[in-house]
């Protein structure tokens, strides 16, 4: 799926029993001029009229006229179906004109009108089915395009975060480190000459070191290098350590053994879910304690974040209010995981993400 709009004449399978070959034929016929798509239904109608003629009134082929009419509606639309329906009535009239049991032409004409009414009702019914199928297909296509667009936006956002994090790490952090070295040399020189400004230089050096640490923490938060290297648990522990140091909130990571995720894109999405859940608990939940739990339940990997904050209102949870909640849900869906957010019985909020992965994607290693 490349997100391009699809023309209404493109591949649409038959509603029942359709195959890719039938869908290809349907697509070609709908893309063709009207007269080309009506060739086969018209020929079928003529063949049925000829069979009606040679078998006379005793063996009626009337019900089989529905097939070319259905085909005409499916390939050519309402106008093509009505054309073949009127033609079918005329062909039936001519084929049975000399062998029908009606005593008067009026009775025979009334029989033809009844049959034409049946053919027209059939056209309306098949056309309604076709429109319904096209509407359903268009809706599915719209959902697929929307999902692809959201995925593309998420990928672009992730790429930009990684680029900014890498630029911070390789650019600003290195420049600050170089400034720190220069300030350190200056402080040493001032101290050697017992200059009063030596203390000020030492304070500037400490401030530059703190700025380097903060910049590196920010870069790692935007671009968690450990996740790309496979150390998912290490990245979460670093997230907990940095967030706890900056906010004063107690954050612990609990794991059942050492769990490693080998798929970088999955690890990145799960890391972002944990990052957003922790940020929400600190900012909105006013939590003082947060626990990040990593479990391996058979083939299911569970990532759970619990906090002791004020919680989230039920109506906000059900409505999915907030960009953060919607982003977490979408990240979980994009990797095939389930996402649940619910209040804890003892207060606070529980955010749980469960993902079934192949055995080679999640490895549980014995602790040292």
**For 288-338, how does the pLDDT look when each residue is reduced to its tens digit (9 = 90+)?**
999 999 988 778 889 999 998 887 765 555 544 567 788 888 888 888 899
pLDDT at 14 over 60: no
Indicate where the chain has its CATH 3.30.565.10 domain(s): 224-365
pLDDT at 128 over 90: yes
pLDDT at 199 over 80: no
Parallel/antiparallel/unpaired status of strands 289-297 and 250-255: parallel
Q: How much is the average pLDDT of 6-34? A: 59
Q: Please report, rounded to a whole number, the percentage of residues in the chain having pLDDT higher than 90.
A: 16
Q: How far is CA 263 from CA 74, 198, 266, 276, 354, in A?
A: 46, 51, 5, 20, 15
Q: Please report, rounded to a whole number, the percentage of residues in the chain having pLDDT higher than 70.
A: 81
Out of 13-22, 32-41, 217-226, 318-327, least confident range: 13-22
Please report which residue ranges of the chain form alpha helices under DSSP H.
Answer: 20-31, 34-37, 39-55, 66-76, 78-95, 105-167, 173-192, 197-222, 225-228, 232-247, 264-283, 314-319, 323-334
Please report, in angstroms and rounded to a whole number, the separation of the first and last CA atoms in the chain: 46
- Residue 107's pLDDT is 84
* Higher-pLDDT residue of 50, 312: 50
- Residue 298's pLDDT is 78
Helix (H, G, I), strand (E, B) or coil at 310: coil
- Residue 122's pLDDT is 92
Strand partners, 364: 259
- Best CA proximity match to 81, nearest among 113, 50, 42, 115: 42
Q: Which tokens hold the place of 216? A: 């590196």
Residues 6+ apart with CB under 8 A from 33: none
pLDDT at 368 over 70: no
Q: Which tokens hold the place of 249? A: 């909130």
- Residue 163's pLDDT is 73
pLDDT at 8 over 60: no
321: left (phi over 0), alpha (psi -120 to 50) or beta: beta
Q: How much is the average pLDDT of 161-188? A: 75
- Residue 182's pLDDT is 81
pLDDT at 79 over 80: yes
Q: How far apart are CA 322 and CA 324, in angstroms?
A: 5
**Measured over all CA atoms, what is the biggest interatomic distance in the chain, rounded to whole angstroms?**
133
- Residue 328's pLDDT is 86
Q: How far is CA 253 from CA 110, 237, 294, 306, in A?
A: 84, 6, 8, 11
pLDDT at 20 over 70: no
pLDDT at 110 over 80: yes
Q: How far apart are CA 368 and CA 365, in angstroms?
A: 9
Q: How much is the average pLDDT of 228-236? A: 72
pLDDT at 249 over 80: yes
Do residues 49 and 106 lie in contact, with contact meaning Cβ atoms separated by under 8 Å? no
Band (9; pLDDT cuts 50, 70, 90): very low
Do residues 52 and 65 lie in contact, with contact meaning Cβ atoms separated by under 8 Å? no
- Residue 317's pLDDT is 52
pLDDT at 19 over 60: no
What's the CATH fold of domain 224-365? Heat Shock Protein 90 (3.30.565)
pLDDT at 171 over 50: yes
Q: Give the chain's mean pLDDT.
A: 79
pLDDT at 6 over 50: no
Highest mean pLDDT among 128-142, 170-184, 213-227: 128-142
- Please identify which residue in the block is written with the tokens 């982003």: 327
Calculate the CA dihedral of residues 232, 236, 237, 240 and round it to 10 degrees.
Answer: 170
Out of 144-153, 240-249, 298-307, 313-322, least confident range: 313-322
- Best CA proximity match to 48, nearest among 87, 76, 22: 87
- Residue 238's pLDDT is 84
């Amino acid at each position: 799926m490349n997100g391009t709009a699809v023309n209404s004449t493109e591949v649409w399978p038959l509603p029942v029993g359709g195959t890719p070959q039938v869908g290809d034929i349907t697509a070609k016929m709908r893309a063709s001029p009207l007269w080309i798509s009506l060739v086969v239904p018209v020929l079928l109608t003529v063949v049925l009229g000829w069979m009606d003629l040679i078998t006379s009134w005793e063996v009626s082929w009337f019900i089989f006229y529905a097939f070319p009419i259905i085909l005409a509606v499916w390939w050519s639309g309402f106008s093509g179906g009505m054309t073949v329906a009127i033609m079918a009535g005329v062909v039936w009239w001519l084929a049975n004109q000399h062998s029908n049991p009606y005593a008067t032409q009026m009775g025979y004409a009334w029989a033809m009108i009844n049959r034409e009414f049946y053919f027209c009702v059939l056209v309306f019914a098949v056309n309604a089915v076709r429109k319904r199928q096209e509407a359903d297909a268009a809706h599915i296509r719209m959902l697929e395009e929307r999902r692809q667009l959201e995925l593309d936006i998420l990928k672009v956002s992730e790429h930009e975060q990684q680029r900014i994090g890498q630029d911070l790490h390789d650019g600003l952090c290195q420049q600050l480190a170089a400034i720190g070295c220069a300030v350190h040399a200056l402080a040493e020189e001032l101290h050697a000459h017992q200059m009063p400004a030596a203390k000020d230089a030492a304070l500037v050096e400490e401030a530059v070191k703190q700025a380097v640490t903060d910049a590196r923490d920010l870069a790692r938060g935007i671009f968690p290098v450990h996740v790309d290297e496979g150390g998912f648990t290490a990245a979460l522990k670093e997230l907990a350590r940095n967030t706890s140091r900056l906010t004063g909130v107690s954050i612990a990571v609990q794991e059942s053994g050492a769990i490693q995720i080998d798929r970088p894109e999955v690890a990145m999405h799960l890391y972002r879910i944990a990052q957003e859940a922790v940020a929400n608990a600190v900012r909105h939940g006013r939590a003082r304690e947060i626990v990040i739990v990593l479990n391996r339940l058979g083939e299911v990997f569970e990532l759970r974040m619990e906090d002791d904050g004020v919680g989230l209102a039920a109506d906000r949870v059900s409505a999915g209010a907030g960009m953060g909640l919607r982003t977490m849900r979408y990240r979980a869906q994009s990797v095939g995981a389930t996402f649940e957010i619910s209040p804890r019985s003892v207060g606070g909020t529980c955010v749980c993400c469960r993902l079934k992965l192949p055995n080679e994607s999640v490895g549980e290693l014995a602790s040292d």
